[in-house]
Amino acid sequence: AQSVTQPDIHITVSEGASLELRCNYSYGATPYLFWYVQSPGQGLQLLLKYFSGDTLVQGIKGFEAEFKRSQSSFNLRKPSVHWSDAAEYFCAVCGGGGADGLTFGKGTHLIIQP
Amino acid sequence: DAGVIQSPRHEVTEMGQEVTLRCKPISGHNSLFWYRQTMMRGLELLIYFNNNVPIDDSGMPEDRFSAKMPNASFSTLKIQPSEPRDSAVYFCASRTSPSGNTIYFGEGSWLTVV
């Protein structure tokens, strides 16, 4: 069975600083990996996804993530955060060759300091 | 295009009452998912359908929960009888095909059982 670990429950970053959110997955085959963002009271919005090919993927809102098979990681990065980036961020893996539902990590709550 | 539409957005009900949550997936999407989100357990996949057929309901917590998808444009999640521990946000999501594409989420149904 697949699983996702997001080791940081909360992260505080100053506005304008760089950001890295960690994600580790467990899955026996090639994973389909996703990052979603959730603002308070809202649904989940897809930031980016990795299926195959280039291991550095670009997403919306200036986010990127890098797939590292050797480390079973898919960390999310942004070079300069904005106050509007404050939200909950979820990493997810999809098994079954992409045919299953998503298994989510517990999420990382991002706080932006002025 | 309209996204995934869920109703009701908010519901408060008394313990023992029947609750029905409704979902209209994105037109043309063949897979539909029901998730539950709580502080303690995070995002859990309850059940998903491909082409209106339930594929995996192993996440349904107990017999009080049931889900149906009578046609490609409508699904329900029913809880009967409801209990306070069912209080959560229930998300419906859909995907274009069974394999490997993005899963789009609705804005959720916020359920409180008192």
Give the count of beta carbons closer than 10 Å to the beta carbon of residue B104: 20
Given an 8 Å threshold on Cβ–Cβ distance, is A99 in contact with B100?
Answer: yes
Strand, coil or helix: A62: helix
Helix (H) or strand (E) holding B107: none
pLDDT tens digits along A33-43: 999 999 988 89
What span, in angstroms and rounded, lies between the C-alpha atoms of B72 and A29? 31
Average pLDDT, stretch B37-45?
A: 93
Which residues is B35 bridged to in the sheet?
Answer: B45, B91
Mean pLDDT of A52-59: 92
pLDDT for res B99: 67
pLDDT value of position B62: 86
Residue B93 confidence class, pLDDT cut points 50, 70, 90? very high
Residue B98 has pLDDT above 90, yes or no: no
Q: Tell me A66's DSSP state.
A: E
Rg of the Cα atoms in chain A: 13
**Closest Cα in chain A, distance from residue B54 (Å):** 12
Report angle CA A106, B68, B23 to the nearest 5 degrees: 60
Say which of B56, B99, B108 has its CB closest to residue A97: B99
The reported pLDDT for the residue numbered B2 is 82
Lowest mean pLDDT among A48-52, A97-101, B4-8, B87-91: A97-101
| Minimal Cβ distance to B45: which of A34, A90, A102 | A102
**Helices and strands of chain A, counted as H and E runs:** 0, 12
pLDDT band with cut points at 50, 70 and 90 for residue A27: confident
CA B51, B57, B63: angle at the middle one, nearest 5? 130
Chain A residues bordering chain B (beta-carbon distance below 8 Å): 32, 34, 36, 42-46, 49, 51, 90, 94, 97-107
> Where residue A6 falls among pLDDT bands split at 50, 70, 90?
very high
Residue indicated by tokens 């919005």? A45
Q: Span A46-69, mean pLDDT?
A: 94
Amino acid identity, residue A87? A
pLDDT at B100: 61
Q: Which pair of tokens denotes residue A81?
A: 């955060």
Kindly state the helix (H) or strand (E) to which residue B82 belongs, with its residue range. Answer: none
Q: Do B101 and A106 count as a contact with CB atoms less than 8 A apart?
A: no
Closest chain A C-alpha to B1 CA, distance in angstroms: 15
